[in-house]
Amino acid sequence: MTARRAIRAAVLTSSDRCSRGETEDLSGPALRELLVRGLGAEVVASRCVPDEQDALAACFREWSRREAGIDLVLSTGGTGLAPRDVTPEAARSVIEREHPGLMELARLRCLPKTPRTYLSRGIAGTIDRTLILTLPGSPRGAVEMLEALLDILPHAIETLRGEVQDDGRPGAEATSGRVIEHAD
C-alpha cells in the first residue's frame, strides 16, 4: 500500500481592509494553521485581495491550473450579506462543477454552535482537479466550517485526484485506484 500524498492547499483572503493594510488578516493564518495541524496539508500559497469579483475569480483560476498542483483552495471572507460580499459569485463564475453538499454539511454540523452559520452563502465546487471551498470571513466561522469537513476532505481530494475507486461494495476489485469499502 502506498502512502497518501499530502494535500497541497492555498488560502485566499477576501477583504478590502486587509488588502489595504488597514487591519490584520486573522482568518487566513487560522486556516493555514488548521490545514497543517488537521490535515497534514502543505500550504503552498496564500494571498489577500480586495472584495472584487474579477480579482477573486482570477486567483481561483490561477491556483486551479493543473501545473500549479493545488488540490484544495480555501477562501475566507465575502460570503455574507454585505453589498461587497461577492466571493460566492466569483467562485461560481469559474467553478466547473458545483458541489453544494459540502457546504450544506458544514452548515449543518456548525448549527449546534450558532444558527448564524446559515448566514454564510459559501459554496463549494471544482475546477479541473482542484476543490474550492468559500468560507466565512471571521476566524471563528472560517475555522469551524473547515473543522466540520476535516473528516471527509482527504477522501474527497483523493477521489478528485483519481486515486480512489469509490466502489463501496464488499469485496470489490480495484480497476483504477484504491477501493474504499464503506461500513455504513
pLDDT tens sequence across 54-84:
999 999 999 999 999 999 999 999 999 999 9
**Cα torsion 61, 73, 148, 49: sign:** negative
pLDDT (tens digit per residue) in 116-148? 999 999 999 999 999 999 999 999 999 999 999
* Confidence (pLDDT) at 165: 65
Alpha helices in the chain (DSSP H): 16-19, 27-39, 53-63, 87-94, 100-110, 139-147, 153-161
- Give the phi and the psi of residue 183 in degrees, each rounded to 5: -80, -25
Task: Quote the pTM value.
Answer: 0.91
For residue 28, the one-letter residue type is G
Q: Which domains does the chain have, with CATH numbers?
A: 8-181 (3.40.980.10)
The b-or-e profile of 63-101 (16+ CB within 10 A means b, else e) is bbeeebebbbbbbbbbbbeeeebbbbebbbebbeeebee
pLDDT tens column, 142-175: 999 999 999 999 999 999 998 876 556 666 566 5
Contacts of 104 (CB under 8 A, 6+ apart): none
How large a percentage of the chain has pLDDT more than 70? 88
- What is the model's pLDDT at position 49? 97
CB atoms within 10 A of CB 22: 9
